[in-house]
A and B are shown apart, each in its own frame.
Chain A
Amino acid sequence: MTRYVLDTDGVTRARLTLADDPAQLRECASVVAATTAAAMSAVGPEGSYVHTALERFRMVHCRALDAVADAASALGDRLDQSTVEARSVELFVTTALAEAATELPAGMSGSSDAGSP
């Protein structure tokens, strides 16, 4: 039997490690947004430069974390797709081999069967 270069179970396990990533990263973005807002109010009038910098930091990095979360989700789907395709190929090949074995004449199906009653 052919040994496949894709261990679908292994890839599925690897994909499962990504399962929580999108949620974690989205929650991370939410916390960063709230935290940065609090920091902006805590810098005081002498920290107006910090305030301005934090304002842009907040907009950029919250959205950046959301984008990373989406990408993590898409990457998990991409691995799922590879696994499904690999399973389909495996099933197709296995079925083809089974059909080929069925179509063999009885005398060619194996030496052990030749002498069996």
Chain B
Amino acid sequence: MIRVHDVVRGSSDVPGDVALPSPGGSPAELRSAARSLECEAARARSTTTVGGTLGSRLGAVWTGAAATAARSEADELGRRSRGVVDALTTTARSLLSYAAALDHAVGRTRALQRQWDALDAEHALAARRLVGATDPTGVVRVLGLERAHVERAAARARLSRCHAGVLDELRAVAKRCAHVVAGVTDATLPSTAPATPANVRDAVTGSLWFADGVVSARASRTAALDDAALVRRALQAVEAGDIGGWDRRADDVAIAQIVHQVRDHADDPVYAQTLLTELGGDGLSRLLMGAGVAGGSTTGAHVDTVRNLLGAFGSLVVTGARHTVPVGTDPRTRAQLASGAALLADDLVAGAARVHADASGRDGATGAWLLGQLLSGARATGDDRRLPARLVRRAAAAAAAAEIAETRDADLELRHGTTLRPDAEAAFASWFDDAAGTGDALHVLLSEVGDHPAEQAAVLAEPLPGSSSAGGALANARGDRLTLGEHLVRRWITLEATGIESHPDLRLATDGDLQRLLPSISCATTADAAETRARVMLELSRSSSLAMAEASTTRLYTRATAPVEGLVVEWFSAMRANVDRALVVPSFGRRTGYAAETGVGLQPALDADELSGVIAALTIDTGMGLHAKDPGAGYVRLVESEIAWAERSVAHGRDVAVDVARLGFLDQSASAALVAVAHRQDELNRAALQGAAEAKNVIEEIRKGGPVGLMSTAQTYVTAGTSRTAGDDLVITLVRSNVELAQTERDDARHAALVARIEAFTGRRPSGVRASMETGAGRARAVPAADALRAARDAEIRAAWEAYRDSAVHRCSTRARVVIAEGSTTTGWESRRPGLRPRPPRASDEQSPPVPPSKATLGTGREAE
């Protein structure tokens, strides 16, 4: 202003609004803004939150500790929000104050401007008067004008000072208003803190746990969305490449960046669920497959990269699937986390059977194996948080169904869930140590099961989900849906038996799983526990009967069944009442379901055939040697237990006939199982000898006739189906094993010993004991007596001999009909002396009548062993 004054000092005509400009700004707009702020403040105060009326409303309808907490939270939020809203009112008042000051300053400035203009007008008038006045010398005019100039300058200076004062006063008011506004702002957020959204939220709603959760959840979601975009970009880069997989050097860096981002939020459930939802189950699988999880390692650095990736995302899956939420999580986020965990669990279970292939289509892996690797990775990084029990059960059942389906699909490359080849003698492939455990997805999931018996029992009772590929293989012995407990028993037999063929030292982790889980259902008398015991016993029975056909599984039984068999013996003894009912009503178990009430609670209910199968599984535990066998240790324990029970029955005066009948059933079932194995061994022995004879004949024909002989042999196969001669069959009949007879005789001896023991403590006559035992034995499968087997063997030899003789006669008739006719009337095996062993038929025998063997010369067939 002084500058303006100086500029116009020499001027004679400067307008007042130029010389003394009005202050800027719009008081009207300021008042409008102030009114608007007041209105918004009033609107905010009308809300329940700011008004603070929620606490009193809640008090009327809710009492107790939870209500007190809710009221205090509502009151606290109201108190804090009122501070924010009050700042609007205070600011509005300040704006009004400033508007008023601005108005006043404008008015005063305009007044000064008018004075300025009036001063100029007065000066001009005075000048005109002096010019028009008579002044011959001109001195008066000059002095007058000079005085007018001085007076105007003095007046202008006074006006300028007034103008400056007005503006200074306005600035002072502005300063005061700004101080007030800054004060209320500082009350909301201290001036030392930058006004970032996080700082403001922390200052306004910080420590209100329900509000903090909303804020942190929002931040987590934002981070997850950013990282999901990062993963998608990496995947697009891989899939756009020509190699169909990660460029190890370049893309390991990308993986490392992803892993770094994910690790930073590994414990944040909101982040975990948001990222996994954004990627989807398919996206995560694509990431893993793209990283070469199913493609084998190329370098040590790549192995570390893949392990880190599996570990980071494994922890993320655990975080996302758990139902625990951080302290302070708001209710909405808590509810979202709960539903998110359920959806994630559904995705994991549904994807267990899905086979994921990499971009090249060469490598693949099932969802179950990938989940197992993720969990193994999480454990390898020290993450010991467990998955929810329900998810573990469902995922384990889904993995089991996928495993069964894998054995029935057309994909020969996939083995135990992946195309990644296992190392050395390991059955499973894994990126981590102890491939037998970490590569076995089912074992990894079962390792998540806690030690609580109820949790373990629920796992064993979990039914396997349906599978179009697995089909009928998901049915148990009764045709019902297979449960996880049954599958473990079946898997333990089938998978380990298959592996043991090529890897004798193979140890399936299922051994340990069964040992850990089965005790949980051993003592409970609930319906579920009894049903699980019944199912396990039935599956053991069925798998055992199938496994006995293979030498490898017999070896497996020899070394590994002890823990399971011991438990089954205990279960069998505890269900004694139901065994007795099954002996009376053959279809008892199938009619009543898997469990029936006994004096000691619910126990497994099996019918007589099923019980025989269980006893057979306990009986057969020795190898496949061509000799009669004793029952296994499990059966011996069972019999000893029953004898002890029968002794107590005698001591307490109870009717021991029921106990004796039960022992008869056990004895007969064991005999039937042992004889069945012996019979199968005889059949195998016969088949082996027949195969050797076929081979011998083929070699001889080729040696004698060359290509012509080979053609002749082929024609023989086409027409007769075999190249064996009647002589071959006779020899085989004579030398083949007869374990069945030996086993029957040993069973008879064992039976006699048992009868003697029972007689000893019951004091009953042998005929009475035998009669009671036969009552129970009648429910088990009948076996032929030793005499019947001997007679059958004689008949078999006789038939072979007659076939051989007829064959010889037919051959001789083509050469010398008369000689054969005479020989056939004068020779016969009935006329030969007993005690002579037959010599093996030779080719020359076809030229002369053979010497028939006798029953006495063959003995019982034990020599063949």
Contact B201 A82 (CB under 8 A): no
Q: Which residues of A contact B197 (CB under 8 A)?
A: 63, 66
How would you classify the secondary structure of chain B's contact residues: helix, strand, loop or mixed?
helix
> Contacts A44-B26, A50-B174, A63-B197 given: A57-B91 contact, CB under 8 Å?
yes
Q: Report whether B177 and A50 are in contact in the complex, using a CB–CB cutoff of 8 Å.
A: yes
CB neighbours (8 Å) of A47 from chain B are 25, 98, 102, 170, 174, 177-178
Q: Which residues of A contact B58 (CB under 8 A)?
A: 11, 14, 79
Q: What are the residues of chain B within 8 A of A43 when measuring CB–CB? A: 25, 30, 98, 102, 174
Query: In the complex, are the beta carbons of A49 and B178 less than 8 A apart?
Result: yes
How many angstroms between the C-alpha atoms of A35 and B38 in the bound complex?
Answer: 11
A28 to B74 Cα, complex, angstroms? 20
Docked-complex contact B25 and A57, CB < 8 angstroms: no
The interface bits of chain A over 1-32 (1 if a CB of B lies within 8 angstroms of the residue's CB, else 0) are 00001110111011001101100110010011
Given contacts A5-B63, A57-B184, contact A72 B201 (CB under 8 A): no
Q: Please tell me the size bucket of the interface on B.
A: 35 or more
A47 CA to B334 CA, complexed, in Å: 49
What residues of chain A lie closer than 8 Å to B94, measured between beta carbons?
50
Chain A residues near B53 (CB, 8 Å)? 17
B window 61-90: CB within 8 A of A: 61-64, 66-67, 70, 73-74, 77, 80-81, 84, 87-88
State how many residues of chain A have any CB contact under 8 Å with chain B: 57
Interface residues of B in 151-201 (CB under 8 A from A): 167, 170-171, 174-175, 177-179, 181-182, 184-185, 188-189, 191, 195, 197, 200-201
- B412-435 CB mask vs A (1 if < 8 Å, else 0) is 000000000000000000000000
Query: Once the chains bind, are B26 and A17 in contact (CB under 8 Å)?
Result: no
Whether A71 pairs with B48 at a CB distance below 8 angstroms is no
Q: Do B62 and A5 touch across chains, with their CB atoms under 8 A apart?
A: yes
Q: For residue B518, give the distance in angstroms from its CB to the closest CB of chain A.
A: 32
Decide if A68 touches B181 in the complex (CB within 8 Å): no
Is the CB of A74 closer than 8 A to any CB of chain B?
yes
Of residues 46 to 79 in A, which have CB atoms within 8 Å of B's CB atoms? 46-50, 52-54, 56-57, 59-61, 63-68, 70-75, 77-79
Q: Is the CB of A39 within 8 A of B70?
A: no
* Chain B CB within 10 A, most for which of A25, A54, A60, A63: A60
Instruction: Given A25-B44, A42-B26, A78-B210, verify A64-B189 contact (CB < 8 Å).
Output: yes
Question: With a CB–CB cut-off of 8 A, which chain B residues contact A14?
Answer: 54, 57-58, 61
Let me know if B200 and A63 touch, CB within 8 A.
yes
A17 close to B57 (CB less than 8 A)? yes
With both chains docked as a complex, state the minimum distance between the C-beta of B386 and any C-beta of chain A, in angstroms.
25
- Give CA–CA (A63, B30) in the complex, Å: 22
Cβ of B74: which chain A residues have Cβ within 8 Å of it?
Answer: 75
Interface residues of B in 43-60 (CB under 8 A from A): 43-44, 46-50, 53-54, 57-58, 60
Cβ contact of B49, chosen from A41, A75, A80, cutoff 8 A: A75
The answer to whether B32 and A70 touch across the interface, beta carbons within 8 angstroms, is: no
Would you call B84 and A65 a contact (CB within 8 A)?
yes
Which residues in B have some Cβ–Cβ distance to A below 8 Å? 23-27, 29-30, 32-34, 36-37, 39-40, 43-44, 46-50, 53-54, 57-58, 60-64, 66-67, 70, 73-74, 77, 80-81, 84, 87-88, 91, 94-95, 98, 102, 105, 167, 170-171, 174-175, 177-179, 181-182, 184-185, 188-189, 191, 195, 197, 200-201, 203-205, 208, 210-211, 213-215, 330-332, 334-335
Write the residues of chain A forming the contact surface with B, with a CB cutoff of 8 angstroms. 5-7, 9-11, 13-14, 17-18, 20-21, 24-25, 28, 31-32, 35-36, 38-39, 41-50, 52-54, 56-57, 59-61, 63-68, 70-75, 77-82
The contact sample of 22 A-B pairs, CB cut-off 8 A, is A6-B62, A11-B62, A13-B57, A14-B57, A17-B48, A20-B47, A24-B46, A28-B40, A39-B29, A44-B102, A46-B170, A47-B170, A48-B174, A53-B185, A54-B91, A59-B195, A68-B49, A73-B214, A73-B332, A74-B208, A77-B330, A78-B70
In the A-B complex, list the 7 residue pairs whose CB atoms are closest, starting with the nearest: A44-B25, A10-B61, A44-B24, A49-B178, A42-B29, A71-B211, A81-B331
